[in-house]
Structure 1
Amino acid sequence: MDSHYDVVIVGAGLQGLATARIFLQMEPDLNVVILDSNETIGGVWAKEKLYPGLATNNLRGTFEYTDFPMDDSFGVKESEHLPGESIYEYFCRYAEKHILTRRIQFSTKVTVAEKLQEGWKLELESVVGNGHTTEDGKEILPLPAQRTITCAKLVIATGLTSVQQPINIKGSENFQVPIVNFGDYPREAEKIYEDEAIKNVTVIGGGKAAYDIVYLMAAHGKQVTWIIRASGHGPTYMAPAHIYVGPFRCWLEKLTTTRIFTFFSPCIWGDADGFGYVRNLLHGTKWGRWIVDTFWWKLGSDLIDQTHIAKHPETKKLMPDQPPFWYGVSLAILNYPTDIYEFVRGRQVEVLRKDVKCLESLKTIRFEDGSSVESDALVCSMGWKFEPTIDFRPKEIHADLGIPSADFSHAQKELWDRLDARADLEIFERFPKLATGPKVDHDSLMVQQNLPNSALADKTALRKEVSPWRLWRGIAPPSLPTRDIVFLGMFFLFQGAVRSETSSIWAYAYLYGKFKGPFTSVSKPSAALNLDQRVPAEEQLQAMQKEKEEVNGIMYDTALFNRFGKWRTPYGFGSRNPDVVFEGIAYFDLLLQDLGLNSWRKGWGWMGEIFGGSYDQADYRGLVEEWRRSQKKEKV
């Protein structure tokens, strides 16, 4: 086993596997290793993380790599949702095809990443005697419990759904019934629904994961109390895979990748699609914004109408609190065998919009309004930790890395506050609608700590504030002097498979100095920018430009990227990391332009882009070879 590698990739899921394949396709002789804390391949789709009924929001054809289409042998027909077992099998075959399995060290967790003058030193914790075998059937020797390795390049590809938030509800130490966090749900679900002594199950959460839990428990005959916080974001939008927008039946996922529909979303990097003049008309003029508002009103009303939740007093409790414009990828698909809302209409599932105060002895759940319910089991969908699970050292480089951290110096925090303030000015000037968004009183950048239950009564001791993810292009550190680390997959986007490939090519070019440059800035301030009446518009613009030049544009572009998310998806995850839906194709355009590749891939120029239908895997097939050919031409 080596102690030094050319490239270490942390994570063997959707992103990590694509990165390994692409890096090795670029340089077959690279010494690459993939580290994963799971026992099997697949990340969130690892075998041990699957639970009954788990399936993708995607239909077959949109959750696959461009070089490895899913066929009938996976047991999924066209226009069917992909069950978790099929996704796991898909990743296994993909790794075998590209000879990646032998490069993966399972049950291996990176605990510390220390910056060296050149490269990184990693401290690992491994499960001794994991029993895995190589492709030729030989048993892998047991790994030492703790060891240290070094690498020249480090790729963090763990994604944003690896570690669940702790429950930390006051009184849980005295609760006498099973309490299950969603992260443990795959191991515990069967125990709950097969236990005849458990009659009533309480589920906390309003996202897709909570929907899955509620459906599985109700389908097994349990009486379910579904608690959605009154002070939170409320229920998410749920929709069929195909919806009617007016008289047109649309595949909802492909609606988000059809160029003409992406124009209806404001996008700070949107000019990369080559249709900036259209966006300016739609988002920069009064009549244009009326058209945009009409589009989103119609989309939202059609979503609600086709789920019929507004037509019954019980299902009406699952109405989202805001129009769909303000949500990101939390919008999910109703991929269940039967109608989940029938359980609600029949009162087998009772929906409560209340805040939990505490858990009382035996099996009582007490609410802030003084009322209570009894439960035989409690399952909590509290979300995922968005801050890194790796301890990056020294702490002084956290701001340079762009990772969520509470360890910024005063000067670092002051710089980012200044950049954020200027970014807000530009965003509101370019997209006035974003200044009118819902003022959500939430603490999305407050993270819970694992503390003894005795400390739970002190809410201030439970939580700390951290910075959001601040990555250039959503990938690279904004101000680290050395190019030896990237963060891939820290980005919520429907087109995850295509993102994993395009971002991997971009990451390789970044790490190995292959960009032709110069880079396109996503900034486009205008002389009309004058939100601070004490500063003349021209002076403000000049000051803004001067500061951009001082930080080489990258830090300011990063601030724009981050702050756009905050204002675009306040009911999603945009405050802490990129969360995009209709902006995904323009994001791919931006990455491809950085790489010097053609971002209009439909043919026939602008007519093909407008009338050529939705973008899918086939449009991005062969990108690696396309880029390699462009590099050879550049050398000639």
Structure 2
Amino acid sequence: MAGFSDPPIAIPPEAPNYHGCAEAKYYTQYLEDYIDRHVYADKPLRSRFRFQYRVDNVEKTDDGWSVHATYAHNEQRVFQTSRLAVASGLTSIPNIPSFLSGKHDFQGPVLHHKGFATFSKSSLKSSECENVAVIGGGKSSADMIWECLKKGKHVSWIIREDGDGPALFIPAAAGGRYINSMEKGACRLGALFSSSAFMPNIWLAKFVQKTQFGMTQLRKKIQAIDQHCRNVAGYQDREGALPHFKDLEPAPSHSTFWHTGPLGMAQHHDFWPTIAQNVDVHRASITSLQSHSLTLSNGATVDAGALLLGTGWKSHQPFFSPSLAASLGLPHFARTDTPEDAKLWTSLLAAADKRVLSNMPVLAHPPPHKKADGEEMTTLRLYNAIAPLSTISDRSIVFLGRAHTSNSFRAAEAQAIWSTAYLSGHLDGKLPALEEARRRTAYMNQASRRRYPTRGREGDCFVFEIVSYTDRLVEEVGLRSHRRCQGWWGCWTRAWWRGWVDDWLEPTMNGDFRGMVEEYRRLYGIGDGVEGGEGKAKRE
């Protein structure tokens, strides 16, 4: 499911591959090759990048936008544009714990997982770095720990007691027609069990989400998946595990469906035995740092030649002034809203909440969960999590990668298609009026907040909604070639049942978008079409 549609990624047959999970280096090389082989107007994508620039400030002008940037050698430059796509996403600014912001005595390297790839190829190989401490309970911490263990290091995994806790890891294996659990969750039939603001308005979705029988099956499915994750890990009874391995078990309220804590996938066949038998787990906070050790709140002292931070990211875009960010609909402190906006969005979200619970009653009863830290923030007020409502009429700016999704490749391609149509004016007359756009955005926000009570507070979390979200985007543009069944007539002309079965039971592969550029050009009368792959994606 990784890679774009043009072309799909090809993992070498001899490469280690566990249920479709391969080493990161193959995906890195795929992206390097991608920007060289895609050529437009005789210019490859690589030549259109401006590397080593830091964006300092973005301003709205009468003619569009001014982007103020600084080159590596402090050279200042201003880019003027009538259309702006902000694609900095959610993983650009590392979140560094506050206790590391001041002076400390630790003499080893301290780095966020953003820089771990370089570190693992150099300093991690040093004999001076035999003991490694890793902070954070999520997937990024697990990835760094795995790499350290494979390089023969002794690892201490430190997860504070008052945080979100350790991740719940979903087993990669899925069984049946699916290569892995990601594929199983990415078929349209399975997506009907994933309560979403983007769910199609069809009887089958209503049956699952609104009938007593459907909701009962949904609750059973939620419980079964969560228990399966715990059973495979074997936190309490795994043979050969170190004494504190059991402390990695997430809280009973930690659920995959509700995303009430960190989530990840166990991407190695020996993931759990390796972690259980080799990692010292500490559920405590760091109280002080010495030259080559850490003191924890439980009184333990941990030897460490390096301190690695799997502490997540800050999701804001600092190059927008607070006032411009608020006017564009980016999350901001609720207290900074104007009285008019505060009243408007309070009303919109309250009305949306009633509709969410009417359409998806199961969301009325989430498990116990951690409340938001810090000040209250507003929700993401972007239509489809892309277009600011304040500029929806002038079509001058879009935000890409601003929503939390489970498949960044598919989301990026669908968002690019929608944004191209939006910025080009091809959605003029198709998009709702401002009042309705606000109403739909509030519904998206509130569904996210209900579905993901800890991760969806800003209304931009669609982790298990990649199918319905991307379908909504491309179908709003007017495209259908990504579907295996082109309406009931298309199904009946393909061995009478195969089209429908494939469309609902096969995973939505990124290659499904392979013919979409040509379809788009035909639909909007652009040239004579382009060369592209034929048919739907096939799993390699």
Q: Does 1:83 align with 2:23?
A: yes
Q: Which runs of 5+ in 1 are unaligned?
A: 1-61, 129-143, 447-463, 521-548
| Residue 239 (structure 2) pairs with residue 239 (structure 1) | no
Aligned twin of 1:404: 331
* Matched letter for residue 48 of structure 2: R
User: Does the aligned pair in 1 maintain the 2:260–2:370 contact within 8 Å?
Assistant: no
Give 1:227 deviation, angstroms: 1.3
SS state of the match for residue 320, structure 1? Answer: coil
1:325 aligns with 2:257: yes
The alpha-carbon distance between structure 1 residues 513 and 413, as it changes in their structure 2 partners (threshold 3 A), is same
Mapping 1:288-367, distance limit 5 Å: 288-312=214-238, 314-321=244-251, 322-327=254-259, 331-336=263-268, 339-346=270-277, 348-356=278-286, 358-363=287-292, 365-367=294-296
* Kept after mapping to 1: 8 A contact 2:380/2:445: yes
- Does the CA-based 8 Å contact 1:388-1:404 persist in structure 2? no
Residues 195-239 of structure 1: CA distance to partner in whole angstroms, max 9, x if unpaired? 334443221111111001112222233222211222222222223
> Matched residue of 2:468: which SS?
helix
> What's the offset of the Cα at 1:429?
2.6
Once residues 489 and 622 of structure 1 are traced to their aligned partners in structure 2, the CA distance between those partners, rounded to angstroms, is: 23
Q: 1:553 to 1:309 in 2, by over 3 A?
A: same
SS of equivalent residue, structure 1 residue 147 = strand
Q: Look up the equivalent residue of 2:439 and give its one-letter code.
A: Y
1:578 counterpart = 2:460: yes
Q: Provide the residue aligned with 2:442 in structure 1.
A: 559
- Structure 1 residues 199 and 102 mapped into 2: Cα distance closer, same or farther (>3 Å)? closer
Correspondent of 2:54 among 101, 109, 121: 109
- Matched position secondary structure for 1:365: strand
C-alpha distance in 1 between matches for 2:199 and 2:297: 44
SS in 2 for 1:555: helix
518 and 187 in structure 1: CA distance in 2 versus 1, 3 angstrom threshold? closer
Q: Distance in 2 between matches of 1:74 and 1:399?
A: 49
Q: Secondary structure at the match of 1:122?
A: strand
Q: Which residue of 216, 222, 228 corresponds with 2:147?
A: 216
- Residue 496 (str. 1) matches residue 408 (str. 2): yes
Deviation string 1:583-630 (CA, Å, 9 cap, x unpaired) is 221112211221122277112746634454222133221112112211
Decide whether the 8 Å contact of 2:86 with 2:398 is kept in 1: yes
Counterpart amino acid of residue 23 in structure 2:
P
CA RMSD in angstroms comes to 2.9
The TM-score normalised by the length of structure 1 is 0.72
Contact 1:206 1:236 in 2 (8 A): yes
Q: Is the 8 A contact 1:239 1:333 kept in 2?
A: yes
Aligned residue number for residue 163 of structure 1: 93
- Deviation, structure 1 residue 364: 5.0
Query: What is the Cα deviation at residue 487 of structure 1?
Result: 0.3
Q: 1:181, 1:381 within 8 Å by CA — same for their partners in 2?
A: yes
Q: Which residues of 2 match residues 395-474 of structure 1 at below 5 A?
A: 395-406=322-333, 407-443=336-372, 446=374, 466-474=377-385
Counterpart for residue 313 of structure 2:
384
Aligned residues of 1:438 and 1:570 also touching (Cα < 8 A):
no
Change (3 A) 1:103 1:249: closer
Structure 2 SS opposite 1:493: coil
Amino acid corresponding to residue 397 of structure 1 in structure 2 = L
| Distance (whole Å) between structure 2 residues aligned to residue 229 and residue 503 of structure 1 | 36
Name the residue aligned to 2:470.
588
Deviation at 1:470, TM superposition (A): 2.6
Mapped partners of 1:621, 1:175: distance in 2: 54
Distance 1:360 1:85, change over 3 A: closer
The answer to whether the aligner puts 1:628 opposite 2:511 as a matched pair is: no
User: Per-residue deviation at 1:562?
Assistant: 1.9
Query: Deviation of residue 254 (structure 1)?
Result: 1.0
Instruction: Report the equivalent of 1:568.
Output: 451
- Identify the residue that residue 146 of structure 1 maps to in structure 2: 76
Q: Which moved more, 1:289-298 or 1:222-231?
A: 222-231
Aligned partners of 1:497, 1:170: CA distance in 2, in Å?
A: 34
Mapping 1:171-182, distance limit 5 Å: 173-178=103-108, 179-182=110-113
1:364 to 1:91, Cα distance in 2 relative to 1, 3 A: closer
Moved more, 427-436 or 162-171: 162-171
Q: Give the deviation of 1:154 after TM superposition.
A: 0.3
- Structure 2 distance, partners of 1:465, 1:620, is 39
Instruction: Give deviations 1:34-72, integer Å, cap 9, x for gaps.
Output: xxxxxxxxxxxxxxxxxxxxxxxxxxxx21111212236
Q: Are 1:617 and 2:529 counterparts?
A: no
Distance 2:232 2:514 in 1: 35
Gap runs ≥5 in structure 2: 39-43, 489-496, 527-540
CA contact (8 A) 1:419 1:559 kept: yes
- What residue number does 1:508 align with? 420
Amino acid corresponding to residue 357 of structure 2 in structure 1:
F
Which residue identity does 1:63 align to in structure 2? A
Q: State the alpha-carbon separation in 1 of the partners of residues 297 and 261 from structure 2.
A: 30
- Using the alignment, how far apart are the partners of 2:244 and 2:289 within structure 1? 27
Distance, in Å, in 1 between the alignment partners of 2:140 and 2:237 is 24
